[in-house]
Each structure stands twice: as structure tokens, then as C-alpha cells.
């Protein structure tokens, strides 16, 4: 089990994640949802070990990720995968080499076997036959599907998905959501999915966490979240602009800002 | 009402405050760059070996810089021959032209101008490439695929530059001396035997070793600085642009400073 204890991440004067406890169940899909800037990607990066927390600890079983040696971390990562929001394909490699990259790096398999595995992964995302294309020749959606195939190349035990359906057409988004669901169940994979797509999040998650201002405001099964009494949860699910979660992030008065003349000093009463 | 009172700082205090802050920040970056560079270089002794990536980088950075090195070397030698001939002719010592061109190029101009060209051609591309890999999260992707980006990205580039610079400088030296010969002997009428004889007599192994040591040290500096600037660049378009400019400026200034120090040892 992956566990975050009192996790905080501060960038300069901005607190992205604030003293958050999180438990990720094995062989289940944990969906982290929240508005833009709520800290969900930062939380995902903390759990993946891509960022060090300002405070708190991340436990993989009984091992602390924050004090782990580099070698041990890389050892753990051989059984992990990650789908990045903007794909993060290696620009100098074509589609085949991108998907085959982890296999070339960490296995001694024959090229024939690797070719078969890559074909299978690309078939899953509907891109078999596109092996020769370079990342610059792919659309955003295609790049994301290749990145998905790459993340799954080693049949990982733990996979982090950062906005897996954003930028995809409805058909591709549906296929990716189904693939996450099916692969997680079939391979008993632990999946952590960050998304602001309410429909996709609630349909694929076993456990849903809702973040706001770097804190968890609700956690439970999709049904528990749907029927939550919390006004903030309902506002987010329904996408209402009015409610306890303000749409505007400005902290000063709009009228004051419009009437304030440059070169003058505002005196607070 | 708050109880905060504001005190006007003297201009001197402001000046020393800024100086102190920038000195501390500079020292911090120097320490970080040194640790990052040596950490990457330390990985050379551990598996998996990066032989293929090192060869690819050596080709991209070394062979890619060959044309600019040949052109720069040729014109440097030609200008030196012209200027040298003009000066030496006043003393009736045109026969020393070969020695003058050879010593200037091997001891000083080859390593320094060669390093400048490599900074502009290869150093800037190292910083920009690594910076863009950061912007597009490719370094994070490598991390998540259990591939150490210091080993995969930094190490081959640093080692390739350390090896490519002395080789390119050697080519610069040969082309420079050769082009000096063409201008001095073929155009200005210096005796060819005197040009070669003085070159061989006056330029010793000590000068060649000096130039070689300089070029290895410059290669090390360029590799470390340009890799560091890319790896630690702010992952934005502006951040990469700024890091690339800074990498070129800092590498060039460092080459000049270290050149003075090494020259003072080798004279």
C-alpha cells in the first residue's frame, strides 16, 4: 500500500499540498479529482517520487520514499509506469522505440519478442501500424495513446495517470478509461488517476478523493461521493460557478482595482 | 493599525545586501553544478554503460562542430600570417613567421577560439536540448522508467565534450598553421623551408602539452556548465532561452579566466 503522511508541498509562497494524509489501496483505482490548481498533479508527483515533499512522508509498504537510496527508488520504478499529461514521449525516438524503451532498458528479451509486445500494446490503443512515426508527427491524442502504451509496456504493478483523458476525443477518452479499468482489474494493478473529468473519474474509480486548495475535502467510493452532503463536493460534481468554491481566485476588490489610479496609494481604513 | 515601522536603508547597506545575496546565490549554484557534474561523471564506472549514447553524442557534438572549427581555424591562421608578416617584415625577420603562427595558435588561439566556437555550436545545443527535455517532462519520464537522467542525458554529453574539444582544437591548430603557410609562403613570398624549419625549431612538446591541457580543461568546463544550465533551467520557454544565453556567457567567461590561470602556470 502507498501511504502519504502529513504531506505538504510549498513552492515559494504558494502551498500546493497542505498537510494531507492519503491512502492508496493495492490493486484498486484511486481517482484524485479537483479543480485547476487544487494540488492534484503535485500530489501525484509526490506519490511517484518526482518531487520531494516540504514536510511529511510517503510510504511504499514499510519503506519511506523520501529517505530511500536512488538505487532502491529505480528498482521500485521498474514495476511502475506513468502517463504524463502532455505525453512526455522521447522526441528523438519513433513510436516503436518509445514504447519499446522500458523493455530495451530493463529486459534481455529478443528484439522479435519486444516487437510482438510493442505491437500488442499499440493494438490496445489503436495505433498498430504507426510504429515508424516520430512524436512530432503525432496529434496530441495519438501521442497520449502512445504514452499510455509505453506506460503499460512492462506490465507495471503501480501506474500513475496524470489527466489520462484530457485532450482526447470522446471515443479515445472512453477507450482509455475502459483500458485503465480493464488493465487494473486484470493485472491487479494499483492505479492512481488524476483527473478533473468528473464522469470518467467516477466511472473508473474504486476510491475517489476530492481535493481543494491542497487539502482532501472528500473521500469515498464513487457512490459515496455522488451522494455526499458536502456543498463543495456537489458544486464540483455539478460544475456550478456559485457556491463555497469561488470561481474567482482574486483576493482584492474588483471595484477597488478598477478605480485605483496608478501612482496613488490606497489607504486601508 | 499595525505597529510596523519602516526604516530607510542607506545606499551602502542596500549595495552590500545585494552583493551578499548574489555572492551567496552564485556560490550555491557553483556548489550545485559541481555536485551534479561529478555525480554524473561518477556514474561512468557503473552499469549500464552508456557507450552507444556516448558515441552518438560524440558524433553530434564533435562531427557537427567540425565545419565551423575548420573555417575558424583557416581564417585565424590566415589573419595571423598577414599580421605576423607585417610586423616581422619591419625587423627583417619574415622567416620567423612559421614559429609565430604556430606558437600563437597551439598555445593560445587554438584552445581559446576553438572553445568559443564549440560553446556556440555544441554548448548552446546541449543546454537547449536538456532544457527542452525538462519542459516536455522527458526527464521525468526517464525517471519514471527507472532510467537515471544524469546517467542517460548528462554523462554522455559531458564525456563527449571533454573528448571532442581536444580533437577539434588539434584540427583547428593544423588547419590554422596550414592556412598560415598558404598565406605566408604562397601569397607573401616567405621561404617555405624557413617557415617549416622555424615552426619545428621553436614549437616544442611543452607548447603542445600546454595547448592539450587547456583544451581538455575547457572541454570539461563547457560540458559541466552547459549540462548544468540545461538540467537546472526553469522548465518554461523563457527559462530555456535564458539558460542557453547564460550557458554561453558563463562558459565563455570561464574559459578566459581559466585560460589566464593555466597560461600563468605554463609560461
What are the backbone dihedrals phi and psi of residue A60, each rounded to the nearest 5 degrees, phi first? Answer: -105, 100
Best of A12, A50, A265 to mutate (most B CBs within 10 Å, chain B): A50
Given a cut of 50, whether residue A262 has pLDDT beyond it is yes
Residue A267, pLDDT score: 63
Residue pLDDT, tens place only, A172-225:
888 888 889 988 998 899 999 999 888 888 999 999 999 988 889 889 999 999
Beta strands across the sheet bearing A80-83: A80-83, A158-162, A190-195, A29-34, A207-212, A215-220
Beta strands across the sheet bearing A63-64: A14-24, A2-11, A55-60, A63-64
Name the band, by pLDDT with cuts 50, 70 and 90, for residue A56.
very high
pLDDT along chain B (267 residues), means of 10: 61 88 91 89 79 89 94 95 91 87 93 96 95 94 93 93 96 95 91 90 90 94 95 94 96 96 84
To the nearest whole angstrom, how far is the Cα of B140 from the nearest Cα of chain A?
7
User: Which of A75, A80, A90 has the CB atom closest to B144's CB atom?
Assistant: A80
Q: Do B138 and A91 touch (CB under 8 A)?
A: yes
Residues A4/A20, Cβ–Cβ less than 8 Å:
yes
Residue A73, pLDDT score: 92
Residues A184/A191, Cβ–Cβ less than 8 Å:
yes
Q: What is the ipTM of this complex?
A: 0.87
Q: Which residues of A touch B147 (CB under 8 A)?
A: 74, 105
Residue that wins the pLDDT comparison between A42 and A264: A42
CB pairs under 8 A between A and B: 50
Q: Which residues of B touch A48 (CB under 8 A)?
A: 144
Given a cut of 50, whether residue A120 has pLDDT beyond it is yes
Displacement of CA B145 from its chain's centroid (Å): 33
Q: Which residues of B touch A77 (CB under 8 A)?
A: 143-146
User: Which of A75, A78, A88 has the CB atom closest to B141's CB atom?
Assistant: A88
User: Which of A49, A86, A105 has the CB atom closest to B145's CB atom?
Assistant: A105
Name the band, by pLDDT with cuts 50, 70 and 90, for residue A94.
very high
Best of B145, B153, B157 to mutate (most A CBs within 10 Å, chain A): B145
Q: How far apart are CA B22 and CA B15, in angstroms?
A: 11
Given a cut of 50, whether residue A98 has pLDDT beyond it is yes
Domain boundaries, chain B: 32-266
Residue of A nearest to B137 (CA): A88
Residue B7, pLDDT score: 63
Quick one: what percent of chain A has pLDDT higher than 70?
A: 96
Residue B241, pLDDT score: 96
Name the band, by pLDDT with cuts 50, 70 and 90, for residue A100.
very high
Question: Which of 30-89 (B) contact A at CB < 8 A?
Answer: 48
Residue B1, pLDDT score: 47
Given a cut of 60, whether residue A96 has pLDDT beyond it is yes
* pLDDT mean across residues, chain A: 89
Q: Which residues of B touch A106 (CB under 8 A)?
A: 146
Residue A51, C-beta contacts closer than 8 angstroms, at least 6 positions apart: A9, A42, A45
pTM of the full structure: 0.85
Q: Do B136 and A82 touch (CB under 8 A)?
A: no
Amino acid at each position: 500500500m502507498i501511504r502519504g503522511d502529513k504531506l505538504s508541498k510549498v513552492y515559494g509562497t504558494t502551498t500546493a499540498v497542505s498537510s494531507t494524509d492519503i491512502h492508496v489501496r493495492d490493486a484498486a483505482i484511486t481517482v484524485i479529482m479537483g479543480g485547476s490548481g487544487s494540488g492534484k498533479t503535485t500530489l501525484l508527483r509526490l506519490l511517484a517520487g518526482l518531487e520531494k515533499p516540504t514536510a511529511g512522508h510517503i510510504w511504499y509498504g514499510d519503506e519511506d520514499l523520501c529517505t530511500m537510496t536512488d538505487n532502491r527508488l529505480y528498482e521500485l520504478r521498474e514495476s511502475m509506469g506513468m502517463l504524463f499529461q502532455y505525453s512526455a514521449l522521447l522526441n528523438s525516438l519513433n513510436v516503436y522505440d518509445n514504447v519499446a524503451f522500458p523493455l530495451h532498458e530493463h529486459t534481455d528479451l529478443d528484439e522479435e519478442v519486444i516487437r510482438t509486445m510493442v505491437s500488442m500494446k499499440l493494438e490496445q490503443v489503436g495505433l498498430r501500424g504507426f510504429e515508424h512515426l516520430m512524436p512530432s508527427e503525432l496529434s496530441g491524442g495519438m501521442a497520449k495513446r502512445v504514452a499510455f502504451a509505453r506506460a503499460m509496456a512492462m506490465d507495471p504493478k503501480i501506474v500513475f495517470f496524470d489527466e489520462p483523458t484530457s485532450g482526447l476525443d470522446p471515443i479515445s477518452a472512453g477507450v482509455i478509461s475502459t483500458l485503465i479499468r480493464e488493465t487494473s482489474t486484470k493485472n491487479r494493478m494499483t492505479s492512481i488517476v488524476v483527473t478533473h473529468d468528473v464522469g470518467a473519474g467516477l466511472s473508473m474509480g474504486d476510491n475517489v478523493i476530492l481535493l481543494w486548495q491542497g487539502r482532501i475535502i472528500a473521500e469515498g467510493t464513487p457512490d459515496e461521493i455522488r451522494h455526499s452532503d458536502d456543498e463543495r463536493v456537489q458544486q464540483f460534481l455539478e460544475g456550478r460557478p456559485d457556491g463555497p468554491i469561488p470561481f474567482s481566485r482574486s483576493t482584492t476588490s474588483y471595484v477597488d482595482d478598477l478605480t485605483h489610479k496608478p501612482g496613488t496609494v490606497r489607504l486601508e481604513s | 493599525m499595525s505597529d510596523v515601522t519602516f526604516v530607510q536603508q542607506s545606499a551602502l547597506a542596500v549595495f552590500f545586501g545585494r552583493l551578499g545575496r548574489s555572492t551567496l546565490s552564485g556560490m550555491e549554484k557553483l556548489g550545485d553544478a559541481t555536485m551534479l557534474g561529478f555525480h554524473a561523471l561518477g556514474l561512468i564506472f557503473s552499469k549500464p554503460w552508456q557507450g552507444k549514447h556516448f558515441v552518438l553524442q560524440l558524433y553530434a557534438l564533435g562531427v557537427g562542430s567540425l565545419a565551423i572549427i575548420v573555417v575558424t581555424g583557416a581564417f585565424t591562421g590566415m589573419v595571423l600570417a598577414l599580421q605576423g608578416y607585417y610586423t616581422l617584415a619591419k625587423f627583417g625577420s619574415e622567416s620567423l613567421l612559421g614559429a609565430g603562427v604556430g606558437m600563437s595558435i597551439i598555445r593560445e588561439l587554438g584552445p581559446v577560439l576553438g572553445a568559443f566556437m564549440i560553446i556556440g555550436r555544441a554548448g548552446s545545443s546541449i543546454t537547449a536540448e536538456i532544457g527542452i527535455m525538462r519542459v516536455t517532462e522527458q526527464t521525468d519520464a526517464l525517471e519514471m522508467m527507472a532510467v537515471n537522467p544524469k546517467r542517460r542525458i548528462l554523462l554522455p554529453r559531458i564525456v563527449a565534450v571533454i573528448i571532442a574539444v581536444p580533437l577539434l582544437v588539434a584540427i583547428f591548430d593544423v588547419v590554422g598553421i596550414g592556412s598560415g603557410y598558404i598565406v605566408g609562403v604562397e601569397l607573401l613570398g616567405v621561404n617555405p623551408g624557413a617557415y617549416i624549419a622555424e615552426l619545428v625549431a621553436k614549437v616544442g612538446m611543452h607548447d603542445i602539452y600546454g595547448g592539450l591541457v587547456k583544451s581538455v580543461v575547457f572541454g570539461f568546463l563547457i560540458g559541466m556548465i552547459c549540462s548544468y544550465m540545461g538540467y537546472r533551467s526553469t522548465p518554461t520557454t523563457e527559462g530555456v532561452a535564458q539558460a542557453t544565453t547564460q550557458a554561453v556567457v558563463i562558459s565563455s567567461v570561464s574559459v578566459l579566466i581559466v585560460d589566464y590561470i593555466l597560461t600563468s602556470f605554463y609560461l
